[in-house]
Structure 1
């Protein structure tokens, strides 16, 4: 009798698994709620970044303007693009794609996945200096953000330049998240070394796994996102840019009365002891040299070939705090110069905020744009979209 009780749950689990795997995609798509795409525009849920369905649907619609970035996107206040453009009844909706730890390499794979949909697509890409650390993105930041689905799709992608695709695959193979996936790693190795028989053999389980991951993506799409705590406010409605900057100054001043370096009081109070311990600790640090520049170039190459229309946003650091830690101004300026040259050489447009390092209330803390910084971005974003 015990064996019957044992096999019952196993058989049920296998039946359920088979049901999940073999349910037609077309059935699942029909179950996606009509408001799911609009809801996901501000959800900042990793399942959306690591999948493909919602982004594909977003890219089909001219009413959405994607903003790619990292942790700054979750720094909500009334001046945040999601609130500003919604409050002012814009003809478009910002669609946020990014979270802490997402750097060029993560966005590269994402752009490669959607390359066929990027032609003439207007977008905003926020580039952060802290991406460009000496050794590049580490495993701790790569692994939670990397998309297994997008990585498996890459060798079969016909939309990306062959040389760029190979460089991207070689870069991905340096991370343990890829090394520890035997099918993916060997698939890449076979592709890069022209082992056709091996590649064709591995393609069978790889494509089967892609199918499972695509179903998983759709199942997650059916789930309702957790509500965001974003700051929705009408106080930025129908204001001139100068009025908004003055308003942001006042807003920031009220929230930095008990901190140094114009850091948000809540952030400062939470990290006060850490900040005190950082005095002079970053002597000799620089953003001048990093593997990230190569990763960023791959992004530029993918977008250029896809004929996308990006506006790059060059975020500064909190200059007063960086001086306090001993991080040299030259180590920052070398970064600003190099990143602008890369963007210029690719004939793309950028908004340069590097001269706002010491501008009060431009940054919310030591590295994240906020308050007045958002106002500048809103204005530049509006001008860019009108021009293009």
Structure 2
């Protein structure tokens, strides 16, 4: 009987012992810096990379190179010659964008991601790409939120929460989007304004140690290499001497060639696969879209409060939509601009003054790579705002956070923003 039990359980026991030995030997404090590895992490745009605290902290604390968090969503995956990471590499900028975001990631995802790098954002700078398309009636997508969520984010949040209105709101939103999470019980306490018990805190400390060791161990492996295959390759195609005139000329030529197969100025590959088979069905398909009422406004407030707590100086980038495409699909431009104004009011009234607003540039030639994502000339225009913000002396931010932007009344407010209160 013992022999049979050992045959069944022996391999499992040995595997567990091996795991404990490996994790026990992993040091979470020894973050040896390698610029090549960190540059690969900065553009990997993998789920693992986004979830990893170890990778982000390692790059953002490198004493010999400056990585700057670029928060956003699927636009970062558009690696053409003018992509921010490509331009930074080609012209040896004093900073390297650390890209955070993928398709479906929005403010709530970034809020929980920020929990892992609060220390690295204190008195630093960041770029936040904020798309009005995030502000749908239902807000953040639950499946996308769960995809980019890691236990480490919840642990850091729960260990630092102090029972504020922002903590309670963040916990409520978490429970709505991830109700089956193993952190449900603790999140419910935070949502109700209750304190975590001594047992909860002990459990979190243990979970934190295990998570950090797992994270450090698996972070040694880089699976996706966009750096060599896309960034370096594209950077070699740019003019040797930096010049916006030359870059705009290159961008126009590249955009013209890449979008030659359709009348919308959309990249041919995207158009042929995503648009052409459904073109007739998409006619006037966006007539009822409305970005003025959304819980995303409250989720954005979570992020703004976190930036203010960290005294992070942020440049917000607001993109346009492809004008030819929005005309075809019937997207209401007046509604779009009202949503932009609402977003800007929420930013500016609280002291977030650095805004690169491109929302009216959707009709410019080769500004958009597809229907809603910037590319070619759009990236060049963005660089004209980003580069001086990150390389020239900036005045210190003076934030005045207003928690009224955290309530449902603001989320559903459709009148002139400056008459809100």
TM-score (normalizing by structure 1): 0.92
Name which of 18, 21, 33 aligns with 2:20: 18
Name which of 72, 78, 83 aligns with 2:81: 78
- 1:119 maps to which residue? 122
Per-residue CA deviation, residues 75-112 of structure 1 (Å, 9 max, x unaligned), is 01111111112111222222211111110001111223
- 1:268 maps to which residue? 271
Name which of 63, 68, 73 aligns with 1:65: 68
- 2:10 maps to which residue? 8
Residues 381 and 30 of structure 1, relative CA distance in 2, 3 Å threshold: closer
Tell me, what secondary structure is at the counterpart of 1:94?
strand
- 1:322 maps to which residue? 326
- 1:381 maps to which residue? 386
Separation in 2, partners of 1:201, 1:146: 24
Q: Using the TM superposition, give the Cα deviation of residue 224 of structure 1 relative to its aligned residue in structure 2, in angstroms.
A: 2.5
Tell me, what secondary structure is at the counterpart of 2:219?
helix
Name which of 289, 293, 298 aligns with 1:294: 298
Residue 304 of structure 1 pairs with residue 302 of structure 2: no
Alignment of 1:15-164 (within 5 A): 15-26=17-28, 29=30, 35-61=36-62, 63-157=66-160, 162-164=164-166
Separation in 2, partners of 1:387, 1:30: 30
Mean Cα deviation higher: 225-234 or 319-328: 225-234
Separation in 2, partners of 1:42, 1:237: 22
- 1:187 maps to which residue? 186
Mean Cα deviation higher: 374-383 or 7-16: 7-16
Tell me, what secondary structure is at the counterpart of 1:65?
strand
Residues 142 and 208 of structure 1, relative CA distance in 2, 3 Å threshold: same
Aligned residues: 382
Tell me, what secondary structure is at the counterpart of 2:279?
helix
Contact 2:91 2:242 in 1 (8 A): no
Which structure has more relative contact order (CA 8 Å, sep 6+)? It is: 1
CA root-mean-square deviation: 2.1
Tell me, what secondary structure is at the counterpart of 1:313?
strand
Separation in 2, partners of 1:274, 1:387: 49
Separation in 1, partners of 2:298, 2:315: 19
Per-residue CA deviation, residues 39-88 of structure 1 (Å, 9 max, x unaligned), is 21222122121121121223324621221111111101111111112111
Separation in 2, partners of 1:163, 1:58: 32
Q: Using the TM superposition, give the Cα deviation of residue 315 of structure 1 relative to its aligned residue in structure 2, in angstroms.
A: 0.9
Separation in 2, partners of 1:320, 1:30: 49
Tell me, what secondary structure is at the counterpart of 1:379?
helix
Separation in 1, partners of 2:260, 2:109: 37
Gaps of 5+ in 2: 395-421
Contact 1:84 1:236 in 2 (8 A): no
Alignment of 1:122-271 (within 5 A): 122-157=125-160, 162-175=164-177, 177=178, 179-182=179-182, 184-196=183-195, 199-228=197-226, 229-230=229-230, 231-271=234-274
Q: Using the TM superposition, give the Cα deviation of residue 25 of structure 1 relative to its aligned residue in structure 2, in angstroms.
A: 2.6
Per-residue CA deviation, residues 304-336 of structure 1 (Å, 9 max, x unaligned), is 121001111001111221221122112211111
Tell me, what secondary structure is at the counterpart of 1:173?
helix
TM-score (normalizing by structure 2): 0.85
Gaps of 5+ in 1: none
Separation in 2, partners of 1:14, 1:324: 58
